[in-house]
Chains A and B, each alone.
Chain A
Amino acid sequence: MGLARTLAIRAVNLLLVLLLVLLLVVVIIGATGTSDRILMSIVRQEVSTYRQAISRTITNPEALEKAVETYRQELIKAYGLDKPWYTRIGDMLKRIILLDLGVSKSLQTFSGSNKVVDLIMERLPNTILLVTTATVLSFIIGLLVGVKLATAIGSKLDRALTYFSAISYALPTWWTGIIFILVFYFYLRIFPPGGMYSIPPPEDTLARLLDLFWHATLPIIVLVLATVGSNIYVTRTVVMNIAQEDFVLAAKAKGLPERIVRWRYIARVAAPPILTQLILGLAGSIGGAILTETVFGWPGMGLLFYQAIVSSDEALILGLVYVFTLVYVIARFVLEIFYVMLDPRVRI
């Protein structure tokens, strides 16, 4: 079972990366005292819940204070706050993995919860929706245009593409987004300035879906623009190189139709290196999502990250770093499954 074994090894490798990042993060927040602050705020929150609960049964203020203080000390002991941070590495790791990081200082979910885990889980699907759509679109456009261009190397279109890739490399995604809002919202009024739905959102399901499309158009175009140049460029170069191979010549000599040669002979071989490009661009897409969501007010994890930075919300930032890394690792693994399926040579 070459396939399963290969994938298992990849999975273990990626998990190691995730664990390593987490360990690094835990050590850093431990050494800087950030983990103490996060735990203390969890303790404070639990103490205040406790105080409310017992204030109904204990009416004597002095006894109440005493009970609360005892409970506080118990909690501090339970969380290990009385010991140095490195004794809590394991506990902190578990806490981050389960997103058990207490509450956010200033942000809330739409249903009113301010727990870090609820906040992130509410925003996660929105980010996945945005990034996946943009990545898939960019990949398809890259493939179609790239394969086409590979047969027209040196043409005007081809040279224009070289300049386009250079400019798209130099364009910061977020600034493109800002200019898009200025042009398409402020001057032309054909797209909304941001957000995911109109306020109030349409009731009807179809209208709601269209509203979502309308709001997603600009951010998706911006994300696609940022990556499509290099996708086209890589596809074009890879396909061009393969098109010069002998087996392609042989296929052509056999008189096979151009379409079959192009998609069955060339594209099949070109797929793995093109996929590699997609894998390498993944980290960039996640970074791009943080900025694009911020600019367009798209209620995903990226915008949440920005809001957490602005309000110095340590627990939330910590949770987001973990989930971003997790999403990245999972997305990579999915792509690697494709890769192993496409290219049998990498199987062990």
Chain B
Amino acid sequence: MISSKREMLRIFFSSSVSKLGVALLIILLAFSIYALVAFPPDYGKLVWNNPKAWENYPKSAPPSWVNFFTQSKLFEHKILETHEPVVFKAPDGTIKKLYYFDLDYDAGEFPKFFSMLMKDVRYWKSPPIITLKLMRPDGKTVELTSFIVSSPREGEKPPYSRYEKEPFILKIDSDVNVWRSVSSFLKESYGLSFSPSEIGKDPERFIFGSPIGSNFSSPLKGKYRFEVSVTTYDERDSVGDILLILGGSVYGLLGTDVIGRDIAIGVLLGFPTSLFIGIITSVIVTLIGCLLGIIGGYFGGKIDEVTQRVSDIVYNLPLLPLTIFLIFLMGSSIWNIVLLLIVFGWPGLTIVTRSIVLQLREAQYIEAAKSFGSSPWRIIFRHMLPQVMPFIVAQMIFYVPTFILLEAALSFLGLGDPSLPTWGQMLELGFRNGAIYLGLWWWIIPPGVMIVLTAFTFVLIALGMEPVVNPRLRTG
């Protein structure tokens, strides 16, 4: 009856169900490892759950590949970053740094917003002058704004540091100076008169559009070049990162949520948490459950009586209401969740293992071993465990999806560990923000599919284990 390990593996891998299951598992593990390597452990707390970190991203934007299905191309959100500047030095000591940002615009709509971000300006003598210009595909150039970094305060000593903690943000949508520049640009280039406040209603329309008559209805497509020039008066003056942000209505692989978070990152970060909770809980539950089952079944007596009673009661409790209650009281850390899943999870295995051991105990070879004077533990480890093992492993794998789904359910009810991004929590936030009623499918479908896929992987492996455990199911 008992087959060798190699034989078991052969039987396991002979079914296509197991092959698919293992292949999926490898993919899941690869994503988890990538997520763990690519993101620091406190990413969840510092970045993911910090709305400030996502300010520059579009809110509730669908994935960029929806452009394949739409008639008019939607603008994909762009964050343009600094490259090495071109430097000019004048004989009077003035240094001019020119930063260029290129943008190839082919969308059928205007950008939703446009802003410039600048960090860490440091100067020694006079404050630098900063200018932002846009060279358009039609050869025209708009000087959008020009300003001087704030002068030294009284008693302040050089170097003077600006925008160190909070970056400087220029928002075209709310900057009157920009509206004025655009207004005079329109007058000079097209002879059109728009008041700055008219431009302020939708400045992107005028900056990125070319008029038909006096009507700015569609964007001007082609290559744009932004020029940020920084004029400084000392060798040591420096400027940190400069970012240009063009608000799009589609973003990345999986779009963004209501805070602007990249859903692809959230989905990626869900892998390790989900697998960790599922696997660690299942392993511990299996260890406890089968140990108690073996002890109870083999030794009988008082221990058996007690474990049977307790497991019977725990097995018959309405699991979810009690878990919710306890998590609510204990606080929703990942360790509390694992602990409670273990506390409520062990009895099923104890009951089943016990019944198997009860049958095995009567087998003749066990009796023989006893008559040789083998110690009970030797009998358990040498003669019983190998028999029970395949079954226990199959059960262990079958428990993994149960716990993954339970954790997801708790997360969905708002009881997930707030410091870790999980799929359940993403869905909870989506649900609470009405993503279903607004049709934000990219927020609702991917995390759910991941939960189903992860659970399904383990169900497949468990199904593949069945012929190993139960020889009657073997074919060929």
Contacts and interface: CB of A to CB of B under 8 A. Distances in A.
Nearest to A180: B436
A170 B455 contact: yes
A25 B325 contact: yes
A320 interface: yes
> Could you say which of B325, B439, B444, B455 has the most chain A C-beta atoms within 10 Å of its C-beta?
B325
A175 interface: yes
A174 B436 contact: no
B402 to A, nearest CB: 9
Contacts of B460: 166
Where chain A touches its partner, the secondary structure class is helix
A166 B15 CA distance: 16
B452 interface: yes
A166 B313 CA distance: 28
A21 B322 contact: yes
Interface in B437-459: 437, 439, 441, 444-445, 448, 451-452, 455-456, 459
B389 interface: no
Interface in A296-321: 305-306, 309-310, 312, 317-318, 320-321
A172 B413 CA distance: 13
B409 interface: yes
B431 interface: yes
Given A28-B329, A290-B320, A172 B451 contact: yes
A295 interface: yes
A167 to B, nearest CB: 7
Contacts of A294: 412-413
A32 B329 contact: yes
B409 A179 contact: no
Contacts of B196: none
Nearest to A21: B317
Interface in A40-88: none
A174 B460 CA distance: 22
B165 to A, nearest CB: 34
Nearest to A289: B320
Contacts of A310: 414
B439 A328 contact: no
Given A170-B455, A172-B451, A179 B444 contact: yes
B452 A175 contact: yes
B436 A166 contact: no
A186 B436 CA distance: 7
B452 A320 contact: no
A73 B463 CA distance: 64
A219 B155 CA distance: 69
Contacts of A325: 317-318, 321-322
Contact of B427 (A175, A193, A312): A175
Interface residues of A, number: 46
Interface in B278-326: 313, 316-322, 324-326
Contact of B321 (A169, A175, A185, A321): A321
Given A172-B409, A174-B412, A178-B448, A167 B456 contact: yes
A34 B325 CA distance: 12
Interface string A322-339: 001100100010000000
Where chain B touches its partner, the secondary structure class is helix
Interface in A17-51: 17, 20-21, 25, 28-29, 32, 34
> Could you say which of A175, A181, A185, A306 has the most chain B C-beta atoms within 10 Å of its C-beta?
A175
Contacts of B427: 175, 178
A317 B321 CA distance: 9
Interface in B311-351: 313, 316-322, 324-326, 328-329
A336 to B, nearest CB: 11
A122 to B, nearest CB: 18
B327 to A, nearest CB: 9
Contacts of B325: 25, 317-318, 321
A25 B329 CA distance: 11
Nearest to A328: B318
A28 B316 contact: no
Nearest to A20: B313
Given A170-B456, A175-B427, A178-B427, A34 B329 contact: yes
Interface in B407-431: 408-409, 412-415, 427, 431
A182 interface: yes
Nearest to A301: B321
Given A17-B313, A291-B413, A178 B431 contact: yes
B405 interface: yes
A170 B404 CA distance: 9
A287 interface: yes
A306 B437 CA distance: 19
Contacts of B329: 28-29, 32, 34
B326 A28 contact: yes
A182 B439 contact: yes
Contacts of B272: none
A283 interface: yes
Contacts of B437: 181, 185-186, 193
Nearest to A34: B329
B62 interface: no
A68 B387 CA distance: 72
A7 interface: no
Contacts of B128: none
Interface in A117-132: none
B431 A287 contact: no
B248 interface: no
20 contacts: A17-B313, A25-B325, A28-B326, A28-B329, A166-B460, A170-B456, A170-B459, A172-B405, A172-B408, A174-B412, A175-B448, A283-B316, A287-B320, A290-B413, A306-B414, A309-B324, A317-B324, A325-B322, A328-B318, A332-B316
Interface of A: 17, 20-21, 25, 28-29, 32, 34, 162, 166-167, 169-172, 174-175, 178-179, 181-182, 185-187, 193, 283-284, 286-287, 290-291, 294-295, 305-306, 309-310, 312, 317-318, 320-321, 324-325, 328, 332
Which 8 residue pairs of A and B lie closest in terms of their CB atoms, listed nearest first? Answer: A287-B320, A170-B455, A324-B321, A170-B456, A175-B448, A328-B318, A321-B325, A283-B318
Given A32-B329, A169-B401, 17 more contacts: A21-B322, A28-B326, A169-B459, A171-B452, A171-B455, A172-B448, A172-B451, A174-B409, A175-B451, A179-B445, A186-B436, A283-B317, A287-B318, A287-B319, A287-B321, A325-B318, A325-B321
